[in-house]
């Protein structure tokens, strides 16, 4: 059984963990307080779900997803054993949907900032390119609208994340390294915030049209 660990147990984790558990993944949730605070959430998830400290979660997980807000990244990631771990960066440098929620990080890619906080991790950008309610509604997909994008510089890690996406019923499209394809799904990128998942044909056209 494959294990998906969540650093953070808020809206993103609560959307994705039940879907992953339903798809046959073992899910482990963690937060800054203690596993005891996650008992009700864990019990509400059908399938193999549990809670752990962040360090124990990382130890057991095949893939860890960063489901924390941008200002929490430093505190949440520091001192944890990231080396060699496949880590999904689902974060965006914003506090919410409004223009004033944007967090200015200058002319750098947010995933490059995140990479600096998870030394040695095999980082894959994914699950950040649409609002949470879009993923909530579109997974598992009902028809052809089923593309999830990912980007990362470690092909093996990308393939593992693509496998998770397939288990969720989606069609993964690997956009390549973070400093290339990752720009297409970085916040404000041309493949973000469509308020739906693309069909494979729509995704192909959108990638071809992207600058």
Ligand X SMILES: NC(=O)c1ccc[n+]([C@@H]2O[C@H](COP(=O)([O-])OP(=O)(O)OC[C@H]3O[C@@H](n4cnc5c(N)ncnc54)[C@H](OP(=O)(O)O)[C@@H]3O)[C@@H](O)[C@H]2O)c1
Using the rule CB under 6 A, which residue among 57, 111, 118, 128 binds ligand X?
128
Asked if residue 131 binds ligand X (CB under 6 A), the reply is: yes
Q: For residues 129 and 148, what is the distance between their CA atoms, to the nearest angstrom?
A: 9
Give the count of residues interacting with ligand X (CB under 6 A): 25
**What is the number of alpha carbons within 13 Å of residue 200 lying toward its C-beta?**
7
Asked if residue 111 binds ligand X (CB under 6 A), the reply is: no
Q: Is 2 helix (H, G, I), strand (E, B) or coil?
A: coil
Short-list 36, 39, 73, 78, CA closest to 53: 36
Stretch that binds ligand X, among 4-12, 41-49, 168-176, 197-205 (CB under 6 A): 4-12
Asked if residue 125 binds ligand X (CB under 6 A), the reply is: no
Asked if residue 149 binds ligand X (CB under 6 A), the reply is: no
Residue 102 CB, nearest approach to ligand X (Å):
11
Nearer to ligand X, 110 or 153 (CB): 110
Q: Pairing state of beta strands 147-152 and 63-66?
A: unpaired
Asked if residue 75 binds ligand X (CB under 6 A), the reply is: yes
Asked if residue 115 binds ligand X (CB under 6 A), the reply is: no
Asked if residue 182 binds ligand X (CB under 6 A), the reply is: no
Q: What secondary structure letter does DSSP report for 146?
A: -
**Long-range contacts, stretch 108-111, CB < 8 angstroms, 24+ apart:** 109/178, 109/179, 109/182, 109/183, 109/186, 110/70, 110/186, 110/187, 111/151, 111/178, 111/182, 111/186
Nearer to ligand X, 86 or 185 (CB): 185
Q: Residue numbers of the site for ligand X (CB under 6 A)?
A: 7-13, 31-33, 54, 67-70, 72, 75-76, 90-92, 94, 128, 131-132
């Amino acid at each position: 059984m494959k294990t998906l660990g969540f650093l953070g147990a808020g809206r993103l984790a609560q959307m994705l963990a039940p879907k992953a558990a339903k798809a046959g993944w073992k899910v482990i949730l963690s937060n800054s307080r203690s596993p005891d605070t996650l008992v009700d959430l864990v019990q509400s998830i059908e399938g193999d779900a549990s809670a752990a400290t962040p360090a124990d979660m990382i130890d057991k997980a095949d893939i860890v997803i960063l489901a924390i807000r941008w200002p929490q990244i430093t505190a949440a990631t520091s001192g944890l054993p990231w080396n060699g771990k496949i880590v999904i960066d689902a974060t965006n440098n914003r506090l919410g949907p409004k223009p004033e929620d944007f967090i200015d990080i200058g002319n750098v890619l947010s995933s490059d900032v995140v990479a600096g906080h998870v030394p040695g991790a095999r980082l894959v950008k994914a699950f950040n390119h649409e609002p949470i309610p879009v993923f909530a509604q579109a997974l598992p997909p009902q028809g052809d609208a089923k593309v999830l994008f990912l980007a990362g510089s470690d092909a093996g890690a990308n393939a593992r994340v693509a496998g998770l996406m397939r288990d969720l019923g989606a069609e993964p499209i690997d956009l390549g390294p973070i400093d290339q394809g990752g720009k297409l799904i970085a916040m404000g990128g041309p493949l973000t915030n469509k308020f739906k998942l693309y069909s494979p044909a729509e995704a192909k056209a959108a990638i071809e049209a992207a600058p």
